[in-house]
Amino acid sequence: MEESMVATAANQGAGIPAEDHLCGRIRRAEQALMGHHEAVLRSHGLTMTQYTVMLVLAAEADLSGAQLARACGVTQQTMATVLTGLHKKDLIARTPSPAHAKVLLTSLTDQGRSVLDRAYEEVIVLERALAEAFKPGEYAALCALLERATTVLAEQTPRRR
């Protein structure tokens, strides 16, 4: 019976112990980050995707569903569901585009901005704690290394056909 590539690499000493795999470390960090954010956002009645949409709208109002989907990295179908939920909670307003009658433009309501501000105040606590956990040079280096890792991950991701 032929040995698997993983078993062969491990037996020859060329393998990396699973707990030392960089991808595993990145995944654990991402899970911890998402766990924190989801717990904080849940207390404000938001999902991570809803929060992301609201952050995008805080930076630029009057965006279409397609523009928001691209900005948030989700499908238009997913975005339609997210926007329906936010609209039902009166956190966003949707108005017809003056240029395209079938396109609805989305912006935050006053209530939406208030909820976003309160959620952001709690989310930013983690960002500050992370910044304080590193010396300034370490923090800058970590940011640069994560950007480089993100680039490699994106380059290595198979494209849809």
Nearest to 80 by CA among 111, 53, 117, 115: 53
Rounded to two decimals, the pTM is 0.78
pLDDT at res. 20: 72
pLDDT class for 160, splitting at 50, 70, 90? confident
Residues 111-159 pLDDT 10s: 999 999 999 999 999 999 999 999 999 999 999 999 999 999 999 989 8
Residues 20-30 pLDDT 10s: 788 889 999 99
pLDDT at res. 16: 67
Domain 21-123 CATH (choose: 1.10.1040.10, 1.10.443.10, 1.10.10.10, 3.40.50.170): 1.10.10.10
| φ, ψ (nearest 5 deg) of residue 21 | -65, 130
β 92-96/104-108 pair status: antiparallel
Residues 28-61 pLDDT 10s: 999 999 999 999 999 999 999 999 999 999 999 9
Domain spans of the chain, in order of start: 21-123
Mean pLDDT of the chain: 90
pLDDT class for 18, splitting at 50, 70, 90? low
Average pLDDT of the segment spanning 54-79? 96
- Rounded to 10°, the helix 76-88/65-72 angle is 110
With beta carbons less than 8 A apart as the criterion, state whether 112 and 54 touch: yes
pLDDT at res. 8: 55
Q: Which residues contact 18 (CB under 8 A, 6 or more apart)?
A: 24
pLDDT greater at residue 100 or residue 112: 112
pLDDT greater at residue 62 or residue 6: 62
Whole-angstrom Cα distance, residue 1 to residue 18?
24
